[in-house]
Amino acid sequence: MNDTRRLMLLVEDRVPVGRSLERTLTLARELAARVIAVSIINEDQAPAGPGRDQHMSELEEAAWARLYEVEEEAFSRDVKVSLLLEQGEPLGRLLDLAESYEVDTLLLDAASRLPIAELIGRIDCEVELVGSTRPRPKSDPAQNEGRDSMEEE
């Protein structure tokens, strides 16, 4: 790839992208970098049975809507952006994408559901946690999914 720096922003469902996007676009402008906004749909979370295709379609539609928000804001700030919608196990896909796109910095919200300690230990680029550090609400069923054993309860 060329010498343009690449920042990857993980856009997750149920994690507001606002502050993460603000930091990402500010950094991209400072570095004249391209932003690669990625959303990953975990197929394993879709219910089995006759409604599965409809559920996956709704997840994809919602993911594209979030990615288009990123694109619109990036364009308004004259930042180059690429959008990716992927399916699979989020941590593994993110690691593969960061490597294949030769990402310099991965930005994700501090409220991400990914096992952050494991991610940092396995990824080959800088990781910057941005956005809200508020804990997820207790009623969020995804709160304990993929939690790192080092996180406080």
Q: Does residue 146 have a pLDDT over 50?
A: no
pLDDT tens digits, 25-74: 999 999 999 999 999 999 877 777 788 888 889 999 999 999 999 999 99
What is the mean pLDDT of the segment spanning 129-141?
56
Q: What predicted TM-score, i.e. pTM, was given to this entire model?
A: 0.81
Total domains in the fold of the chain = 1
- Answer whether residue 145 is part of any domain: no
Residues 6 or more apart whose CB falls under 8 angstroms from that of 1 comprise: 101, 102
Supply the CATH number for residue 119's domain: 3.40.50.620
Domain carrying residue 21: 6-130
- Answer whether residue 125 is part of any domain: yes
- Answer whether residue 97 is part of any domain: yes
Helix (H, G, I), strand (E, B) or coil at 140: coil
pLDDT tens digits, 78-97: 999 999 999 999 999 999 99
